Amino acid sequence: MRVAVAGGTGFIGRALCRELLLSGHEVTVLTRNPAQAGGRVPEGAQVAQWSPSQPDGLVEILATADAVVNLSGESVAAQRWTPEFKRRLTDSRLQSTRALVQAMKSIDTRPQVLVNASAVGIYGNRGEEELTENSAPGTGFLAELAIRWEQAADEVRELGLRVVKLRIGIVLGEGGGALEKMLLPFRLYVGGPFGSGEQWFPWVHLDDVTGITLRALTDGRVEGAVNVCAPGIVRMREFCRALGKVLGRPSWLPVPSFALRVVAGELGESLLWSQRVIPRVALETSYSFRYPQVESALVDLLKAK
């Protein structure tokens, strides 16, 4: 397949582009600054310049693509959620999705599938409830953002395109993501869970994010929402215990809930959410998880550290 990837220079995007190339697909990375993207684009991928606010040339690029993957969006954990940062989080997702959708509407020979990023944040804080792709959305900023993001992607369904919305969990991988931020306190012997530690922690190995995305691109049975989380979901306390075991460090020192709220505000509140997310679509379409259990995932990622 010829696959156009928006957000292909990011943490997930780089890994996906490598996986696509290894699987024999052609990849075009859409980026705002091709000159600076060189070191973040795998060898063999093409690079094309675009900007969601100035999408000139996007029609020509997508007219030759069989599929589009949209991973664009600023990291929700980059800083405290000020009103200005919330606007940036929203614009970085909606503008890119709308630009891609509008370009596809302008093409006679269109890509056959749009795989668009979303997030488990769409479910909000749900306690002990099991959450499948059929579960209703939750409330709060992250849920509302994900709802609008998915609605923007769904607009191309009227053209007859298959749309897949990847509700991505907390991604564990090298070179970025949540794991990199959690390692330092554990190495300093002060690691531990957030709050009570009883909240469900919907983690996923980066290799399974790319694996499920590849399945979504190539398997016509996959359509609509897809939970991108490991089947071996654990509570935060269990995750920290496994991380401490792999690192050979204690995992007993919790980060108090009030401290998270004071330091990180609304972002800190979201770190205390409980989301018992089940990857039902992936399992029902016989996707074979490379890392279904948390300890084996951590061993793989930390074996050289």
The answer to whether residue 305 scores a pLDDT higher than 60 is no
Whether 239 is covered by a domain: the verdict is no
The tokens describing 133, both together, are 């792709």
Q: Is residue 192 part of a domain?
A: no
Backbone phi, psi, residue 255, to 5° = -95, 115
pLDDT at 17: 97
Centroid of chain to Cα 67:
18
The pLDDT-based confidence of 11 (bands split at 50, 70, 90) is very high
H helical segments located in 130-286: 141-154, 177-187, 206-218, 236-247, 257-270, 280-284
**The tokens 């919330």 sit on which residue?**
86
Does some domain include residue 19? Answer: yes
The parent domain of residue 154 ranges over 2-172+203-229+277-283
Contact 98, 245 (CB under 8 A): no
In a domain, 181, yes or no: no
Assigned token pair, 222: 């996959």
Distance of alpha carbon 15 from alpha carbon 1, whole angstroms: 17
- 259 assigned to some structural domain: no
Give tens-digit pLDDT for 143-159: 999 999 999 999 999 99
Query: Which residues in 237-269 are b (16+ Cβ under 10 Å) and which e?
Result: bbbbbbbbebbebebeebbeeeebbeebeebbb
Closest to 6 in 3D by CA, of 67, 77, 60: 67
Q: Is position 271 within any domain? A: no
Percent of the chain with pLDDT over 90: 84
Average pLDDT over residues 187-194: 93
Three-state secondary structure call for residue 224: strand
In a domain, 215, yes or no: yes
Domain at 80, CATH number: 3.40.50.720
* Local confidence band at 5 (pLDDT 50, 70, 90 cut-offs): very high
Number of domains in the chain: 1
Q: Average pLDDT in the 147-176 region?
A: 96
Indicate if the pLDDT at residue 172 is higher than 80: yes
Using the predicted structure, report yes or no on whether residue 260 has a pLDDT greater than 90.
no
Task: From 238, 202, 230, 233, select the one nearest 292 (Cα to Cα).
Answer: 230
Task: Measure the CA–CA gap between 255 and 264, rounded to whole angstroms.
Answer: 12
